[in-house]
Amino acid sequence: MSRYNKILAISFVLLIILSVISLSLGVKSLTLETVFNTVINGGDEDFIINQYRLPRIIISILVGIGLAVSGVLTQGIIRNPLASPDLMGISGGAGLFACSSLLIWPEVHSALLPLIAILGGFSAAFLIWLLNHFNHPSPARLALVGIAVSAFLTSCINFILVLHPVEMNSAMIWLTGSLWGRNWDYIWPLLPWLIILVPFSFYLAWSLDLSALGEETATSLGVNTECLQVLALSSAVALASVSVAVCGTIGFVGLLAPHLARLLVGPRHKLILPIAALTGALLVLSADTLSRNLAPPLEMPAGVLTAVLGAPYFIFLLYRYKGW
Amino acid sequence: MTLSFLFPPKKLMSVFILITVLLMGFVCSLYGQSEFSLRVNDVWNLFVSYDESNINQQIILSLRLPRSLTAAVIGFNLGIAGLLMQGLTRNPLASPTLFAISSGAACLTALNSLTVASIGGLSNEAVAFVGALTGGGLVFLLGGGLSSNQNALRLILAGIAINGLLTSLTRAVLIIADDMAYSLLHWLSGSLSGIDWSSWSQLWPLSLLGLFIATSTCRGLNLNALGEQTAASLGVNVTWLRIRICLAVLILTSISVTVAGPIAFVGLIAPHLARAWCGSNHFMLLPAAGLSGAALVCWADLVSRNIIPPAETPVGIITALIGTPFFIYLILKGKR
């Protein structure tokens, strides 16, 4: 077995072990035996396991995959190690649109929510693109612009939450990202997008490798760079936005997962993508598991935990970054 | 000669205009938007012919006046803190918010006031001071403030990361302490609701101390603008100057955060407004930055009360909504 397959297998096994642990831990801790019995046969704990914990675990895995793949695409195209959907304000835009549509028209159909979020994500991306187009900031400056845009969008979310006060945990979903109260209903709007977009990004992986060589080289090797940029960034925006539509802006996953994957398996996107997806899923799942179990029955938002992990890593990246 | 050199009449005029703007905001916030029908007359009468039995005057005296005064002083503090930081680092983006000084103070204050075991039995002000020091110190260390090739953007990016970390931690503390703590979320984005005379008496002595230290650094800051080596060769004790500036910034920011939470971006905007009107002389800039900050917070407070009348929007959200576009503008402008 090659080293790559080993890494892939290990992260996959880790993900499964973590899911099982996450199923058994909580306000009411259950034995592994009960967990397996309930998943297969149902029973007394059916509600806790199958209706409450299982959908949350599946959503965290899906969201982690979405954010991580989105991060890989963004970093691959912008070729800026500090780029990621949440630092570029895309998550902020999606969050703002999703949150305002939910609070202003509470009866909005759940299948529409990802579409609204995608609209928000694209608006934010368009704003960044405009600023970038007319000003040509350096990579570090671009990262800063993205952060400023996302700070602006976050304060808009804050503002809307003040206009339409909601319960604390729901507010936390939009402010820091949380999987509180997420059940099977939220999986169906999310799933089709991931089923289409994740394989599509695998299809783009080879072109992304070439575009890493520089635009001119990529063009001479037969890559339509403009087309690639539009396709990859659009899928990145869409992936991040649908994830945000379900559980808010869980920060730093889109930044961390691609970096960890690159650290593990080198620069080829075809190899990076699966590892990054698994790492992203692991990150969100462990954040959610911890968030349920740190101070039960209280819940910490998962976004708080990813920020605690992600912010120091971001600073470490700043240390290594040489392109000032 | 020195006086007209240091305070040229034209620049004094802009300070005068700033004072007018501030006073207008101040008076408006004294009578504007209330469940009772307060009028300008009541404000006027309060100062001219005080009548103890007049309910309107009593409302203004006991609720509105401390709030407006506090808003003005906090704005003044934050404006000056921002100015000192920008003068010291010669970085136009430096400000208490972006260097995580506010969020450090907020984080430790939240920890101190909510957890069962308060930190070493210290008062809120002292804890906020320690928090401000920790936040700012972390940013400075991790942003490469000590290394030989300093970079302005790197410091700011590190500041934003630490800021995000500390804000998340504060939220976690708030949730663990009390999951119904919705009002504390308001405090976390900076709010002036619930201010009374006791907050005012908590605020003014330390603000005065901070202002006093800040004033003493003006000459040093003017020379520091020429570069540290030039300043040193002109007889400025640069280390001592830095210590005084840091002290002033920490005192001014931490006392403001203790009273009203981290009100964002005032410390970033105010010095730039002041510089646009009053040039680069810190003797003029100091009052101008303070007054712009005060006017900004007063007006933002007025707006925050007018948006959804009975309830209140945290003033920090309003300043953030104004401040972030301005921040983007500064980043993009800085390239040229």
* Yes or no, beta carbons of B168 and A308 under 8 Å apart: yes
Where exactly are the structural domains of chain B? 72-333
Size of interface A-B (CB pairs under 8 A): 133
A160: pLDDT strictly greater than 80: yes
> Would you state the pLDDT for residue B1?
44
pLDDT average, residue stretch A2-21? 92
Closest B-chain CA to A308: B165
* Yes or no, beta carbons of B144 and A319 under 8 Å apart: yes
Sequence-distant (6+) residues with CB within 8 A of B105 are B128, B129, B131, B132, B135, B253, B254, B257, B258, B262
Query: Over the stretch A246-290, which tens digit does the pLDDT of each residue have?
Result: 888 888 899 999 999 988 888 888 899 999 999 999 999 999 999
Least Cα distance to B223 among B245, B206, B204 occurs for: B245
Which of the listed CATH numbers 1.10.760.10, 1.10.3470.10, 3.30.1330.180, 1.10.260.40 matches domain B72-333? Answer: 1.10.3470.10
- Hey, is B309 helix, strand or coil? coil
* Yes or no, beta carbons of B335 and A137 under 8 Å apart: yes
> Would you state the pLDDT for residue A12?
94
When CB atoms are compared, the residue of B151, B186, B327 closest to A324 is: B151
> Would you state the pLDDT for residue A214?
81
Looking at CA atoms only, how far is residue A290 from chain B in angstroms?
12
When CB atoms are compared, the residue of B144, B161, B335 closest to A141 is: B335
Interface of chain B against chain A, CB under 8 Å?
142-144, 151, 153-154, 156-158, 160-162, 164-165, 168-169, 171-172, 175-176, 179-182, 185-186, 189, 264, 307-308, 311, 313-314, 317, 320-321, 324-325, 327-328, 331-332, 334-335
> Would you state the pLDDT for residue B248?
93
Axis-axis angle for helices B197-216, B282-306 (nearest 10): 160
Rounded Cα distance between B274 and B268, Å, is: 11
B95: pLDDT strictly greater than 50: yes
Closest B-chain CA to A156: B321
Rounded Cα distance between B240 and B244, Å, is: 6
* Yes or no, beta carbons of B311 and A307 under 8 Å apart: no
Where exactly are the structural domains of chain A? 3-320
> Would you state the pLDDT for residue A286?
92
When CB atoms are compared, the residue of B160, B189, B328 closest to A149 is: B328
When CB atoms are compared, the residue of A145, A147, A156 closest to B332 is: A145
Query: Over the stretch A202-213, which tens digit does the pLDDT of each residue have?
Result: 999 888 888 888
Query: Over the stretch B43-63, which tens digit does the pLDDT of each residue have?
Result: 777 777 777 777 777 777 777
Whether the ipTM is more than 0.90: the answer is no
Rounded Cα distance between A250 and A163, Å, is: 23
> Would you state the pLDDT for residue B252?
93
CB A124 within 8 Å of CB A66? no
* Homologous superfamily of A3-320: ABC transporter involved in vitamin B12 uptake, BtuC (1.10.3470.10)
> Would you state the pLDDT for residue B336?
47
> Would you state the pLDDT for residue B335?
55
Q: Hey, of B142, B187, B266, B317, which one would you mutate to test binding to chain A, going by the most A CBs within 10 A of its CB? A: B317
> Would you state the pLDDT for residue B118?
56
Query: Over the stretch B144-199, which tens digit does the pLDDT of each residue have?
Result: 766 656 677 788 888 888 988 898 888 887 777 765 566 666 777 778 877 888 88
